[in-house]
A and B are shown apart, each in its own frame.
Chain A
Amino acid sequence: MSEDKTPRYEDKIIEGYEYDGITEYDNPCPGWLMYIFYFTALLAIFFVGYHFGSHSKDELLEAYTIKLKEAQTETEASESTQQPKISESELLALLQDPAALAEGGEIFGELCALCHGESGEGMIGPNLIDNYWLHGKGKISDIAVSIRSGIPDNGMAAWADRIPEQQILHTAAYIKSIQGTVVEDAKEPDGELVEE
């Protein structure tokens, strides 16, 4: 036993109990620790009472349904007021811009062809060469929306934060430019027919 020459604590060793040289002090449990325990126990009682006492047994589910509804109504409201930033006629001018189409084609080959085929004939994703559309009406601005926010439900990525807006528009214009091309073994039409 190492003994402190100047006992700084009023510790008292419990006599008569020693295990391989280990002894124990007869100190009480630290008060602050006990208060933490009482606090958490009170919290527990309160929380259990709150849970079992409430009328609803599925509070979480209800709370999230309400939140979800709120979010959805907001979405509808904002979508109806959303205005396209650039008019379609401005975008159509891109079709006459070979540099823009070339850039769009390059991006298409790099990013879109994986799922839509090298020539837009469709593979994992729908074909992009006919005038049937699943999302939007086939306008360049519609195509740009799909590129920007993706179609998460079907596994299409959102590219808004990953390629600049300018390039998104160029890619959309490129896709518009391949409308009506004929590719052998293209994927069958999917979506809604849009007559121009």
Chain B
Amino acid sequence: MSSSNDTNSGVVQVKYNDQIVRMFTLATIFWVTIAMLVGIIVALQLAIPQLNFTSWLTFGRLRPLHTNAAIYAFAGNAIFAGIYHSTQRLIKTRLFSDGLSKLHFWGWQFIIILAAITLPLGISQGKEFAELEWPIDIAVVLIWVVFAINFFGTLLKRNEKHLYVAIWFYIATIVTVALLYIVNAISIPISYTKSYIVFAGIQDALVQWWFGHNAVAFFLTTPFLGLMYYYLPKAANRPIYSYRLSVVHFWSLIFLYIWAGPHHLLNTALPEWLQTLGTVFSVMLWAPSWGGAVNGILTLRGAWHLLRTNPVIKFLVAAITFYAMATFEGPLLSVKAVNSLGHYTDWIVGHVHLGALGWNGFLSFGMIYFIVPKLWRTELYSKKLANIHFWIGILGILFYYVSMLAAGITQGLMWRAVDANGSLVYPDFVETVIRILPLFLFRALGGVLFLGGFVLLLFNIYKTIKQAPKELQEETVQIKRSSPAPIHPERGHRKLEGMAAAFTILALIAILVGSIIEIVPTLSVNKYVNAEKKVEPFTPLELAGRDIYVKEGCFTCHSQMIRTIPSDVLRYGAASTIEESMYDRPFQWGSKRTGPDLARLGKKYPDLWHYMHMEDPRAVIKESIMPAYPWLITSTIDFDSLEKKVAVTNKLGVPYSDEDLSDTSERAKEQAKKIADLLTKQGVKEDVSDKKITALIAYLQALGQKGGE
């Protein structure tokens, strides 16, 4: 241990572990670059489909890489840097263990690299922001536990009795992310690279968006609010505007946030009571979210001149402003009527990036500009460059957001446009895509600007570190251990702030209430399933095709959920039911319609259409922006693993027949031969009876054809 104790005077010398903060800071900077580069690639792929070069560089596989890199690699490293830096100082204690800190760092980078390899290979659980397969999931949980031990261990030996508001947010983050990640990832392995989620259909949908929404809440919001509560008053040298507001908005935020997940599933087959809860809790989140923004902005009262002179303050204030915008837009989009327009469109993509680029991005950049000079014991190389970075970044965000908002609303209105005869004005989906394609290019330009600004940060930070002294001493502080007696006996929240364990348990209870009330009832899914609606499971071949659908990330652009709104029904057929997806692992309702919904695709087009369309979408639909999938025609179906897949899903409750279970691969081969023979008759030259395309066609033709309507 590095704190030497002078028992006579009660004075303790504490050395902070700054090395780990430096490492996480550099990792942040590195991964931002990667996440944004991949972001620009996928943005361009949407506008120019020819940029989908090979299987592992297609949109469906790179999009998960982009989101995972942005969340876990960029935001993850940023919050670890900020939490380790601020926590040590807020409780005047060196991190619990240097070894655990290092393990945390290298373990996390190892996970990111594994993700960067497996996601382009198509190894994916097919759930947004939770695509990583089960061995990596286990690694994530283990490293998170290392982080938790290191953090709470530090709290236990703290030299400051009371926990500052930033620490409250860190506690809520660590506890909740652990719970979310573990529950959402429970799955049964088929092999090292494939598993099935235990939840199915609406259960999986609900758990996924309980996770997905709260990944935004507890990975991208609460830790960053904590960082704001430390770096803003430090950089501005002003007291926090209101302690009481901190208390009120912290507890209301974490209690309410956890309920809001179902707003990702509005107007779907999800039971209506859950949709209602999703809406009302999202609307109630407006004020608690703004509580953080207001407390930040008002902290700057009397220090507004800093906005002109201090680039750190600039970035932080802009970040808070973007946070306020996004947290107003969020509740708005959670109103069913607004959601019916915005959902599945680029508006949501714009909304997310308002948060990701504006709030997480700018807050991290502000933090980096603040801590790098401190950590490397020098001055920032150039304030001017930081200022230019700021303005280019702002321009990038505005380009990005405005083009996505316009694209989303335009396409949303076109989807629902109905003429006087009651038929769709734009029945052809691709027409609505053509209209917004120019906006896709503007969006990419926004991304390029944002990254361009960031390159200035790279240069600035490189120069700053270069001018740093060779030997970096760890920051040392002298503190008196014996804390002065409180002025008056403490009550209420003040007392709680002195009790880390009790605080943590209370925070856990706060997030458990909503979780239990929403999720537990759907665990007995039978309550919602109409037993009279018989649903056939996918045949073994169709199941193989479904796994290809998941592997290729089709869900990143296609939904399988016809909502209970007239324009959806007019376009795609009767609204989807709970029964139809009751065996789906993972559920594939999707969250974005870059292409049309596929819930009732089956039997709509001939097999040959699908064959030609997968080989080259533009051979069938001239203006299509879908990537071509030529490798599906040449690579073979893994018939051998099917038996295990069918057996495992059967154990999970999918009613397979005895023949399906005993002669799995024979039956699959039989069905494949039938499809391939027909394709040959229609003019396909190769025999594709053992090729992936055949399994995928079998699956696509089965969509909406299994009963349950």
A114 near B243 with CB under 8 A, answer no
**B residues in contact with A75, CB < 8 Å:** 421-423
The proximity string for B residues 519-535 relative to A, scoring 1 for CB distances below 8 Å and 0 otherwise, is 00000000000000000
A14 to B490 alpha-carbon distance, docked (Å):
13
- Which residue of the partner chain, among B239, B276, B291, B575, contacts A51 with CB atoms under 8 Å? B276
A 152-187 contacts with B by CB, 8 A: 152-155, 157-158, 161-162
B328 to A: closest C-beta gap in Å: 10
* Interface flag for B164 (CB, 8 Å): yes
B244 near A15 with CB under 8 A, answer no
A155 near B605 with CB under 8 A, answer yes
**A residues in contact with B638, CB < 8 Å:** none
User: When A22-B234, A68-B569, A154-B604 are in contact, do A43 and B280 touch as well, CB less than 8 Å?
Assistant: yes
B121 to A: closest C-beta gap in Å: 32
A39 to B: closest C-beta gap in Å: 8
**A residues in contact with B682, CB < 8 Å:** 123
* Interface flag for B466 (CB, 8 Å): no
**A residues in contact with B609, CB < 8 Å:** 115, 124, 155
User: When A36-B286, A71-B422 are in contact, do A16 and B564 touch as well, CB less than 8 Å?
Assistant: no
The proximity string for A residues 26-56 relative to B, scoring 1 for CB distances below 8 Å and 0 otherwise, is 1111100110110011011001100110000
**A residues in contact with B302, CB < 8 Å:** 4, 8-9
A4 to B263 alpha-carbon distance, docked (Å):
46
A27 near B245 with CB under 8 A, answer yes
**A residues in contact with B288, CB < 8 Å:** 37
A9 to B683 alpha-carbon distance, docked (Å):
82
**A residues in contact with B234, CB < 8 Å:** 20-22
A33 to B296 alpha-carbon distance, docked (Å):
14
**B residues in contact with A78, CB < 8 Å:** 420-421
* Interface flag for B241 (CB, 8 Å): yes
* Interface flag for B240 (CB, 8 Å): yes
A28 near B244 with CB under 8 A, answer yes
- CB-nearest residue of chain B to A78: B421
* Interface flag for B384 (CB, 8 Å): no
Interface of B is mostly: helix
- CB-nearest residue of chain B to A60: B564
B 64-112 contacts with A by CB, 8 A: 86, 89-90, 92
A70 to B160 alpha-carbon distance, docked (Å):
68
User: When A1-B237, A2-B238, A161-B431 are in contact, do A153 and B566 touch as well, CB less than 8 Å?
Assistant: no
* Interface flag for A59 (CB, 8 Å): yes
A150 to B243 alpha-carbon distance, docked (Å):
64
B243 near A26 with CB under 8 A, answer yes
B487 near A15 with CB under 8 A, answer yes
B566 near A157 with CB under 8 A, answer no
- Which residue of the partner chain, among B277, B575, B604, B620, contacts A153 with CB atoms under 8 Å? B604
B56 to A: closest C-beta gap in Å: 29
Number of interface residues of A (CB under 8 A): 65
A3 to B: closest C-beta gap in Å: 10
* Interface flag for A96 (CB, 8 Å): no
**B residues in contact with A29, CB < 8 Å:** 242, 244-245, 248-249, 291
A153 to B249 alpha-carbon distance, docked (Å):
51
B422 near A16 with CB under 8 A, answer no
B430 near A157 with CB under 8 A, answer yes
A61 near B301 with CB under 8 A, answer no
* Interface flag for A85 (CB, 8 Å): no
A37 to B281 alpha-carbon distance, docked (Å):
11
**A residues in contact with B570, CB < 8 Å:** 68, 71
**B residues in contact with A111, CB < 8 Å:** 622
A9 near B420 with CB under 8 A, answer no
- CB-nearest residue of chain A to B430: A157
**B residues in contact with A123, CB < 8 Å:** 608, 682-683
User: When A29-B248, A68-B566, A74-B420 are in contact, do A23 and B620 touch as well, CB less than 8 Å?
Assistant: no
**B residues in contact with A157, CB < 8 Å:** 428, 430, 621
**B residues in contact with A114, CB < 8 Å:** 619-620
B 397-448 contacts with A by CB, 8 A: 418, 420-424, 427-428, 430-431
The proximity string for B residues 236-280 relative to A, scoring 1 for CB distances below 8 Å and 0 otherwise, is 011111111110110010000000000000010000110011011
A135 to B291 alpha-carbon distance, docked (Å):
61
A186 to B105 alpha-carbon distance, docked (Å):
66
**B residues in contact with A196, CB < 8 Å:** none
User: When A4-B302, A64-B564 are in contact, do A36 and B290 touch as well, CB less than 8 Å?
Assistant: yes
- CB-nearest residue of chain A to B165: A24
- CB-nearest residue of chain A to B682: A123
* Interface flag for A13 (CB, 8 Å): yes
* Interface flag for B307 (CB, 8 Å): no
The proximity string for A residues 108-125 relative to B, scoring 1 for CB distances below 8 Å and 0 otherwise, is 000100110000000110
A144 to B: closest C-beta gap in Å: 16
- CB-nearest residue of chain A to B86: A20
Q: List 25 A-B contacts (CB under 8 A).
A: A2-B238, A19-B90, A19-B160, A19-B164, A20-B86, A24-B242, A25-B239, A30-B245, A36-B287, A37-B284, A41-B284, A47-B280, A51-B273, A61-B564, A64-B564, A67-B566, A68-B570, A71-B418, A75-B422, A78-B420, A79-B421, A115-B620, A124-B620, A154-B605, A155-B605
Nearest 7 A/B pairs, CB to CB = A71-B422, A37-B287, A44-B280, A27-B242, A24-B243, A19-B164, A152-B427
A interface with B by C-beta (< 8 Å): 1-2, 4, 8-9, 11, 13-17, 19-30, 33-34, 36-37, 40-41, 43-44, 47-48, 51-52, 57-61, 64, 67-68, 70-72, 74-75, 78-79, 111, 114-115, 123-124, 149-150, 152-155, 157-158, 161-162
8 further A-B contacts with Cβ under 8 Å, apart from A9-B302, A19-B164, A22-B240, are: A19-B160, A37-B288, A47-B279, A52-B276, A64-B565, A71-B418, A111-B622, A158-B428
